[in-house]
Structure 1
Amino acid sequence: MQSKATTVDEYIAELPEDRRKTVSQLRKIIKKNLPKGFKETMNYGMMGYCVPHSMYPAGYHCKPEDPLPFLGLASQKNSINLYHMGIYADPQLLKWFQDAHAKASSKKLDMGKSCIRYKKPEDIPYELIGELVSKITPAEWIATYEKKFVRK
C-alpha cells in the first residue's frame, strides 16, 4: 500500500483515525530521538528519514538521485511497519533490539530483515522505538552503509 502523498502531513491526514493517532505518536517519538542530521521525507510511498544529499552526495546506490534511506514508517493493510536499515546492516544492533523487545513487550516480535510489524497499536513499545532510532548517527549510518552495501 503505497501512498501518493507528497508530504508527511498529507500522508498522515489520509490515514484512518485510529492509524493517524498511532503513526503521529510514532513520528513524534522518532523526531524526538533521531540524531541530528537525518531529514524527514516522503519516499517509496511512505514516511522516511534519510541522510540528505548535502551530507552524502552519492545518494542511495540503487537510485543515486534519492537521498540515503535509513528509516521508514508506513501504515500497511494489516499492520504499522517500521523499516530500520540499521538492524538490517548491523547484527549487534539487531541482537540488542530483539533482546530489548522481548523485555519491553509480551508480544512476539514480528519482523523481516529491516521491517518491524505491529498489528495492534497497543503492542508498540514506543520508548524502545525511541531508543532504537537514537543509536545510529548519520555519520555512523554512512560508514555502515558504505561498508555493507557499496561496492568498491
Structure 2
Amino acid sequence: MTSKATTSEEYIAQLPEDRKAPITKLNNLIKKHMPKGLEAGIGYGMLAYYVPKSIYPAGYHCKPFPPLPFISLASQKNFIALYHSGIYAKKELHDWFVAEYPKHCNYKLDMGKSCVRFKKMDDIPYDLIEELMGKMSVEEWIDIYEKTIKK
C-alpha cells in the first residue's frame, strides 16, 4: 500500500488508528538512531531514510533521480514493514538480526530479503531496531551498494 503523502506527518495522519502509534514510535526511533548522514522523508510511497544526493550524487541505479534508499517503513494491509537494505546486502548483518530477533520477540520472525514484517503491533522489538540502526554507517552502505548491487 503506497501513500501519496509528501511528509511523514501526512503519512502518519492517513493511517488507521491502530497503526499510528507504532509507526510514529518507529519513525521517531529510526530518525533518532539512524546513521549519520541519512535524511528522512518520503520515498516510493513510504517513510524513507536515504543517502542524500549531496553525499551520493549518483542516486539509485534503477532510477538515478531519487536518492539512494537505505531504510523504509510502511503500513501494509496486514502488517507494518521495515525495509533495511543492509540486512539484504550484508550477510553478517542478516545473520546477526535473525539470531537476535527471538531474544526480543515472542513471535516467529516474518522476513523477506530486506523486509521485516510486524503483524503484532504490541510485539515490535523497538530495542532491537534501535540496535540495528547503529550496525552500518552510510559510508559502509555506499561501499556495499557499489560493490554488490549497483555493478
Coarse TM-score class (shorter-chain normalised): over 0.9
Residue of structure 2 equivalent to 1:74: 74
d(CA) in 1 for partners of 2:143 and 2:75?
30
Q: Can you list the C-alpha shifts for 1:85-109, whole angstroms capped at 9, x where unaligned? A: 0000000000000011011112100
Q: Residue 94 of structure 1 aligns to which amino acid in structure 2? A: H
Identify which range, 89-98 or 11-20, moves more after superposition: 11-20
Residue of structure 2 equivalent to 1:23: 23
Identity %: 57
- Normalising by structure 2, we get a TM-score of 0.98
Residue of structure 2 equivalent to 1:150: 150
Q: Report the Cα offset of residue 116 of structure 1.
A: 0.2
d(CA) in 2 for partners of 1:3 and 1:150?
27
Q: Residue 21 of structure 2 aligns to which amino acid in structure 1? A: K
Secondary structure in structure 1 of the residue aligned to 2:113: coil
d(CA) in 2 for partners of 1:19 and 1:87?
24
Aligned-residue RMSD, C-alpha: 0.7
User: Are residues 1:96 and 2:105 paired?
Assistant: no
Residue of structure 2 equivalent to 1:52: 52
Secondary structure in structure 2 of the residue aligned to 1:111: coil
Q: Can you list the C-alpha shifts for 1:94-137, whole angstroms capped at 9, x where unaligned? A: 00000110111121000000000001111210000111122111
d(CA) in 1 for partners of 2:114 and 2:39?
19
Identify which range, 62-71 or 131-140, moves more after superposition: 131-140
Secondary structure in structure 2 of the residue aligned to 1:20: helix
Q: Residue 105 of structure 1 aligns to which amino acid in structure 2? A: C
Aligned length: 151
- Normalising by structure 1, we get a TM-score of 0.97
Q: Can you list the C-alpha shifts for 1:12-32, whole angstroms capped at 9, x where unaligned? A: 111112201110000111112
User: Are residues 1:118 and 2:118 paired?
Assistant: yes
Q: Residue 133 of structure 2 aligns to which amino acid in structure 1? A: V
Secondary structure in structure 2 of the residue aligned to 1:35: coil
Secondary structure in structure 2 of the residue aligned to 1:98: helix
d(CA) in 1 for partners of 2:17 and 2:36?
30
Any stretches of 5+ residues in structure 1 without a counterpart?
none
d(CA) in 2 for partners of 1:35 and 1:94?
17
Identify which range, 73-82 or 25-34, moves more after superposition: 25-34
Residue of structure 2 equivalent to 1:139: 139
Q: Report the Cα offset of residue 142 of structure 1.
A: 0.3
d(CA) in 2 for partners of 1:117 and 1:23?
13
